Each structure stands twice: as C-alpha cells, then as structure tokens.
Structure 1
Amino acid sequence: MTAPSPQPVQSTHPDDTSAPSRPSARRAIAAATIGNALEFFDLALYALMASYIGRTFFPGGNPGVQLVQAYAVFGVTYLIRPLGGLLLGAYADRNGRKKALVLSIRLMVLGTLLLAVMPGYGTLGIASTLGIVLARLIQGFAAGGEFGAATSFLVEHDERRKSFLGSFQFASQGLSTLMAAGFAAALTALLSDAQMTSWGWRVPFAFGLLIGPVGYFVRRYMDESPALAPELKSAAPTPSPIVSVFRHHWGGLLIAGGALIVSTALNFMLQYLPTYGIGQLGLDASLSFTALLIAGAVLTFVTPLVGLLGDRHGRLRIMIPAALLIGVSVVPLFLWLNASPSFLTLALCTTILALLKAVYFGTLPSVMADVFPTRARATGLSFSYNTTVALFGGFTPTIAAALIETTGSPVSPGYYLLATAVLSTAALTTAVRSRRMR
C-alpha cells in the first residue's frame, strides 16, 4: 500500500462542479442544521445533566463516583460511533445523503424517547442502567452517521462557498449547546435539587421528542445533494465506499482526524465546565449553566462568519494560529478560574474558549471534506470524525473528572487540552506540507 500523491485541495475533487442558487443553499442549511442541532442537543443534554442522571441510574452515595459512572456511559457510547459512521456513511455514499439523514434522525428520536421515559434504579434496578446504556448506544450510532452525511450535503451545494456552508455543521452544534444550556439554566433556577434529580432533568429530553418530527419532515422533503444526484442515477457499478476509504484514502483519514482532535476535546470540555463550576468551585448551578449559554451563542453566530472568511482568505491561515492560541491559553485560564472562582470568571473563561473554538472549527468541515471524493466522502468523514470523537471527545469529561480525582489538582484538565492542541497543530502542518492545503 502506498500513500496517495500530494495534491492541492483548496477545491474539492473534479466531480464537484455544481453551483446551485442561493435559495437552494439556504434550504440545504436548514435541512442539515435542524436535524443536526436536535441530535447534538440530546448529546449535550446528557453531559450537562450527568450529575442528576448519575444519581438516578447508579447506586451508591458517593457523588464523585456517580458522576464518573454517568460520564463513563457518555463515553462508552462513543465507541459505537465509528461503526455507525461506517455503516450510515456508506449508506449515504451509495443511496444518497437524504436517505441517510432521514434514517439518522429517526434513530436519534428513538434514543431520546428511551432516555426521557426510563424509570430510575430504585424502580427497575440494573435494568434501568442497561436501559440508558441502550439509549445512548442508539443515539451514538445515529450521530455516527450524521456528521459525514450532513457535512457532505452542505459542502457539495456550492464549491465557491463550501467553507461558509460547511461551517453550519458546527454552528448547529453551537445552537444545540445554546438550547441545552438554556434548558439547564432555566430548570436549575426554577426547580430544587431534589426536583431536578426526580424529574426535572427529563424535561428537555421530552422537548427533543416534540421537535424531532419537524426535523424529520424537513429532511424527508429536501432535495438530494447536487454533486451526488447525477451519480445516483448512473447505472455504472461503484466500488464499496468502505473499501475505497481504507484502500486509497487512509492519508485523508489521518489528516481529517488529526485536525479534529483539539476541536473535539475543547467542545466536550466546554460542556464539562458547568459541572466543574458546580463541583470544584462551588458555584450556583443555574449561573454555571448560564456561562455555557453564552458560549453556545458565540459558537452559533461566530462560526459562520469564520467560514465566510475562510472562503476569502484561506482556511489554514485561520486554523493554525487558532490551534496555537488554544494550546497556550487553556492552562492560564484554568489557573485564573481556580484563583478567582466566580460566575464572572467562569463566564469569561468559557467565552474566550468558545471564541477560540469558533475560529478554529469555522473552516474545519470543508477542510475535512476536501480530502475525500464524492462517492466516499460521507464514509471517510464519518469514520475520521467519529474515531477522533471516540478517542478524544467522548471520554474528555471522564478524563477531566478522573484527572481531578486522581491528582487532586483542579487545573489538570487544562494540560489535557494543551496536549490535544499540539496534536492538531502537527496534523495541520502536515496537511500544508504534504497536500498543499490552504
């Protein structure tokens, strides 16, 4: 097996020649964003409600142990995401982005339903714990195919604006953080701790069930990707997307996955910060979640602006400095947060990290998409994304909690983020040198 020869990838592969109208692009953004926001809304909710979920489904009286157990379930389900990515990604490459996106939102709603109605450990015993594991496995499998299909669907609508369109993939994740943090802040302000543990944490999951049909309807009646639609009509045989990715595009897998590392770890660290503020700094729960609400707004609205700049000025010119800034900022921010524990400090630290993240990942989806051809793009994107998320994202809250528990140092999560920034900077530098990416 030999590595593919270097190639410029400011443009996508030659088969991507479509230039649809702006209304078509807006419809594509709406279709991809509403479903993606719903799916990541549920994922963010689990992270934010982990302390209450731990008390509900795990026996024992040690809150720290219950929290680690709840986050472990959060992380374990990410192990199934590469499998979901391969199967649903290949389905999207063979049968169309539209069909894959409709299937993924159906599965996500099923997992959300199980989480919303599952009785606690006191009622069903170990069966309740296994029930939420099953729910998270279903959600993880569905989310595994979401990124590749949705990102491919977005960037394939307009070659000249692919960075801007692709940015809505991550902007919608920012929107999900905004929604989840809004629910968490409101509920913890209105309900007592006992009420939150008893039933309050289930309310936002029930809300997800209400908006799920809207996402399904929008995706059910959207148009297929203009880059893929002509190929789907062709009777010519196509190779297996999975075989194609691993035989011809393993270099792309490494570049795409490596570039994603720091963004993934930082995303889940942002979701962990409210729990950190409550447990380590003794801050009010509602105020801690409000800090993340601010971060969600930053990610939602700043990310597309960065994508627009990437189309005009070059993507890696933005991403590499952002990765370096993340690396040198995280430890000082954690030191500051612990030296001056207050809502204002938490809000400022969260906002700074959210701004750096938005600058980094505003152009990231189009960079990742550029290393794969159309008929293997969803598969390659899904596998690289979900493998990275499983290794560096799903277990980030668990690692952060375990580092603090083991070392006794509340600053230790900052060093973990520093390490991920170094890895991503190395991946981006390699991309510039070997593939002439910009």
Structure 2
Amino acid sequence: MKSPSLSSSLNDVSQSARHGVSTRGLIVATTIGNAFEFFDLTVYSFFAVLLGKLFFPLASSQQQLLLSVGTFGIGFIARPLGGVLFGVLADRFGRITAMNLTLVTMAVGTGLIGVMPTYAQIGIAAPLAIVAARLLQGFSAGGEVGVATTLLAERASSARRGYITSWQFASQGAAALAGSLVGFLLSHYLDQASLEAWGWRIPFLAGVLIAPLGLYLRSRLDDEADTPADAVADSAGVLKTVLQRDWRLVLAALFLVVGGTSAHFIVIYYMSTYAIKVLHLPMDAALWCGILAGAVMLVMSPVGGIWSDTFGRKRVAFISRVLLTVLILPGFYLIQHSPSISTLYLVICALAALHSINAGATGSMLPEMFPRGTRATGLSIAYAAGVSIFGGFAQFIVTWLIQATGNPAAPAWYVIVCGVLSLVALLFVVDRTRQDI
C-alpha cells in the first residue's frame, strides 16, 4: 500500500470539507493554539537560567535554576482542572467554543510574563506573580491539547486520521523550532545586559499576537458540527460518566501520555539547559539543541502519523517506544564520553525522531479510545494529568536527580521508567486504526 506524500495530503479535501474548510485550513486553525502554548514553553525553558537570575536572585546559581524550572512546572498543576473544565465544555457545547476560550486565557498568562517586573523592581511580588501567570497558562493549556486533538480526529477521514491528527504534535515541533530560533537570535545579537534588561521579554510579548490570528482562523470553522449528538444532558453528567464508565480508558490513556511527555520535555526542552549547566557549552550552541529537535519533530510527527495509518497505530507506537526506551541511555553515555557539539546534536536528532514517530502514532490513538459523547473530557483529563505529573516537573526532577546523585545520565533513567509505564498501558489498548469513531 502506497502512503500519500506530505504535500499531496495537505492539498486533499477530507471529511472537513463537509464543514466548509479545507484540510489545510482545519490543521492550521486547530493546531495554532497548541503551537502558541509550546512556543511559550520553549521560550521559558530556554531562558530558564536567565529567569532564575532575574526572579530568584537571592538563591545560589543551582538553586536559581531549580526555582526557575520549578516555576515552569507549577503551571502544570492547573492543567487537570483546565482539562476537566474545557473538556466538559467541549463535550456539551462544541469543540471550537472551548478552544477559543483556552486561546484567550493562554494569551493573558503569556502577556503577564512579558510585562512582569523583576525581583529587583518589586521584590518578592515578582516571583509570586510569575507563578500566578504560569498557573493561568497551565489552566488554559489543560484543555487546549485534548479538545483540539479530539476535533482533528473527528473531522479526519478514517483512512487518514493518523496523518491529520499528527499535525497537532508537528505543531509542537514547529513551536519549539520557532522559540529556539528566537532565543538563539536574541542571545546572539544582544549583549548580556540588554538581554537581562528587556530582551527576554520580546518573545513572550510577540507570542500574544498569535491569539487574534488563531481566533480569526477558528471563526471560519463550523462549531455546530462539533457538538456530539450523544452529549450528556448536563456538565456534571459528563464528568460523572467519564469517572464511572470511562475511568479505565482514562487510566490507560494517562499512562500512554506518560512515556511521550517525559521524552518530550527532556529531549525537546531540557537538553538546552543540560548543555549549559552539565556540559558547560555556550548558550548559542545549547540553543541549537532545541532548534534541531523542533525541526525533527515538525518533519517526523506526520511520518509517524502516515505509518500508523498504513501499518496500524499500536505497532508503530510499540516499536518506536521500545527503541527510544532502549537507546536513550546509550545516547547519554555517548554524550558524556564524547562531549562534542556534533555528538550532542546527533544524539538529540536520533532521540527526537523516535519520539516524534511515536507521537504521530499515539496522537490519533488517544481520541480513538473514548466514546464521542465524552471524548474531549476523557482525553483532556488523561492528557492534562499525565503532562502535569510527568512532563511539567520533568526538568525539575532530573535537575534535582543530577544534583543529588551526581549522575549526568539521570534524565535518561527518568525517560526509561516512564517509557516502560507506557508500554504496559499499550498492552490494554484496542487498535482502532481505520475504524469510524
């Protein structure tokens, strides 16, 4: 069976044509909120060392980094609450209504970070306000990914669902690539004083501009078609149904997410910080870790989606997860024993490719697991909880592990443990490749 090419696939008209929008328009409008979120996460992650210095100046250098990545993780605490609220809203009143609200809320949180005074200007109120902004971002993001992935999966044809849905994760790669490039350009062309004074604010403020564009694109989508015909009569009923009837599905989906989110936040985001703090590379060289990883994810996630449509979701997800789990520790040891920039980039590209293929296959598997009437809620809860626990605090956990154990390969062991949990969960998933949902 011959797989469609990426270019021809984007120009085809799939199930979404019945709603008056091309496949290309559907993908862009649906994934732009996800890209916005991950652009912000990328920028925050890559300026973690600088933000620690500006907002936690009284701590030691190592403690500044811990507090900075800890604040990064705090935003994920609010994700499950956002997943419940926006998931229920999507199942009751339509996917696009919920997605628009998440986009606006996300923009407010990002804008607050961009204009926030530093510790030197307002004292302890500065880090507290950053925490509040991250909580607002996390709350909105908790609903965005699950609802948007649900919409893509439902509007795609059964034969191309993996490919169409994979663009939700390709958009994360595009955002990481864009955020890394912005960070690289700022750190390369601005001196340290300018970067600390005002340069770090530019990407946060620029990111806010994505919100009105996203709202415009989503206004072209028909929301009526995305209110489930079998929607539960009231919001409390949706959540009750998920917790009583679908809890096993939520649990399986959560542990599927665990493997992907741990790999994502270590390979895509943490490696730049790792290159600076552990390998002692200059910031310019370190930021290329994110640029390369983002580029690889942008390209390879749709490949994983196509392969899942052709060979089956479960097979592609299993093989890619096993390979990543087995190879990540040798990859870290290779970096340690041959600590060159070329070795670092090679390992990151290989690990990012395996992670991206897995994300492309798993992305459509998750919404396929749930009934339509509670799909957005179930998926949002599972995704938000998995990302909150195992993704948001991944950088904090591995930074602490390296400090506590003195083992620079600690991040690999973290991804291995999470990968094994996902492989166990995969055993309980029914493969619904090419079935109607």
TM-score, normalised with respect to structure 1: 0.91
Cα deviation digits, residues 342-384 of structure 1 (max 9, x gap): 2211211110111010111102121110111112111111100
CA 1:404–1:237 in 2, change beyond 3 Å: closer, same or farther?
closer
Alignment of 1:233-244 (within 5 A): 240-244=237-241
SS of 2:200's partner is: helix
Q: Distance in 1 between matches of 2:273 and 2:212?
A: 31
Q: Which residue of 2 aligns with 1:418?
A: 416
- Select 2:258's aligned residue among 257, 261, 268: 261
In structure 2, give the amino acid aligned to 1:290: W
Cα deviation digits, residues 49-100 of structure 1 (max 9, x gap): 1111111111325111000001111112211100000001101111101111
In structure 1, give the amino acid aligned to 2:340: S
Q: Which residue of 2 aligns with 1:10?
A: none
Question: Is 2:34 the partner of 1:41?
Answer: no
CA 1:156–1:285 in 2, change beyond 3 Å: closer, same or farther?
same
Tell me, yes or no, if the aligned pair for 2:228 and 2:372 is still in contact at 8 Å.
no
SS of 1:156's partner is: helix
Q: Which residue of 1 aligns with 2:345?
A: 347
Q: Which residue of 1 aligns with 2:194?
A: 195
SS of 1:149's partner is: helix
In structure 2, give the amino acid aligned to 1:204: P
Cα distance, 1:341 vs. partner? 1.7
Q: Which residue of 2 aligns with 1:251?
A: 248
CA 1:135–1:94 in 2, change beyond 3 Å: closer, same or farther?
same
In structure 1, give the amino acid aligned to 2:69: Y
Cα deviation digits, residues 311-353 of structure 1 (max 9, x gap): 1210111110111111111111111111122221121111011
CA 1:73–1:239 in 2, change beyond 3 Å: closer, same or farther?
closer
Q: Which residue of 2 aligns with 1:213?
A: 212
In structure 2, give the amino acid aligned to 1:253: V
Q: Distance in 2 between matches of 1:312 and 1:335?
A: 35
Q: Distance in 1 between matches of 2:406 and 2:52?
A: 21
In structure 2, give the amino acid aligned to 1:256: A
Q: Distance in 1 between matches of 2:425 and 2:229?
A: 34
Q: Which residue of 2 aligns with 1:169?
A: 168
Alignment of 1:61-76 (within 5 A): 61-76=59-74
Q: Distance in 2 between matches of 1:402 and 1:248?
A: 39
Q: Which residue of 2 aligns with 1:119?
A: 117
Tell me whether 94-103 or 41-50 shows the greater mean CA deviation.
41-50
Tell me whether 193-202 or 279-288 shows the greater mean CA deviation.
193-202
Tell me, yes or no, if the aligned pair for 2:94 and 2:226 is still in contact at 8 Å.
no
CA 1:193–1:214 in 2, change beyond 3 Å: closer, same or farther?
same
Q: Distance in 2 between matches of 1:53 and 1:154?
A: 35
Q: Distance in 2 between matches of 1:81 and 1:229?
A: 24
CA 1:187–1:236 in 2, change beyond 3 Å: closer, same or farther?
closer
In structure 1, give the amino acid aligned to 2:188: A
Q: Which residue of 2 aligns with 1:228?
A: 227
Q: Distance in 1 between matches of 2:226 and 2:214?
A: 23
Question: Is 2:17 the partner of 1:21?
Answer: yes
Q: Distance in 1 between matches of 2:266 and 2:69?
A: 12
In structure 2, give the amino acid aligned to 1:263: G
In structure 2, give the amino acid aligned to 1:51: V
Alignment of 1:303-318 (within 5 A): 303-318=301-316
CA 1:177–1:98 in 2, change beyond 3 Å: closer, same or farther?
same
Q: Which residue of 1 aligns with 2:392?
A: 394
Cα distance, 1:225 vs. partner? 6.8
Tell me, yes or no, if the aligned pair for 2:184 and 2:287 is still in contact at 8 Å.
yes
Alignment of 1:3-152 (within 5 A): 19-21=15-17, 23-152=21-150
Cα distance, 1:240 vs. partner? 2.0
Question: Is 2:269 the partner of 1:282?
Answer: no
Q: Distance in 2 between matches of 1:137 and 1:192?
A: 31
Cα distance, 1:251 vs. partner? 1.1
Q: Distance in 2 between matches of 1:193 and 1:91?
A: 45
Q: Distance in 2 between matches of 1:436 and 1:102?
A: 31
Q: Which residue of 2 aligns with 1:272?
A: 270
SS of 1:59's partner is: coil
Cα distance, 1:199 vs. partner? 2.0
Q: Distance in 2 between matches of 1:225 and 1:397?
A: 40
Q: Distance in 1 between matches of 2:48 and 2:280?
A: 17
Structure 2 unmatched ranges of 5 or more? 1-13
Q: Which residue of 2 aligns with 1:334?
A: 332
Cα distance, 1:104 vs. partner? 0.5
SS of 1:363's partner is: helix
Q: Distance in 2 between matches of 1:268 and 1:84?
A: 20
CA 1:272–1:289 in 2, change beyond 3 Å: closer, same or farther?
same
Tell me, yes or no, if the aligned pair for 2:38 and 2:175 is still in contact at 8 Å.
yes
Tell me whether 54-63 or 280-289 shows the greater mean CA deviation.
54-63
Q: Distance in 1 between matches of 2:393 and 2:233?
A: 43
Tell me, yes or no, if the aligned pair for 2:47 and 2:200 is still in contact at 8 Å.
yes
In structure 2, give the amino acid aligned to 1:414: A
SS of 1:372's partner is: coil
Q: Which residue of 1 aligns with 2:361?
A: 363
Tell me, yes or no, if the aligned pair for 2:76 and 2:388 is still in contact at 8 Å.
yes
CA 1:113–1:20 in 2, change beyond 3 Å: closer, same or farther?
closer
- Select 2:321's aligned residue among 308, 320, 323: 323
Identity of aligned residues (%): 38
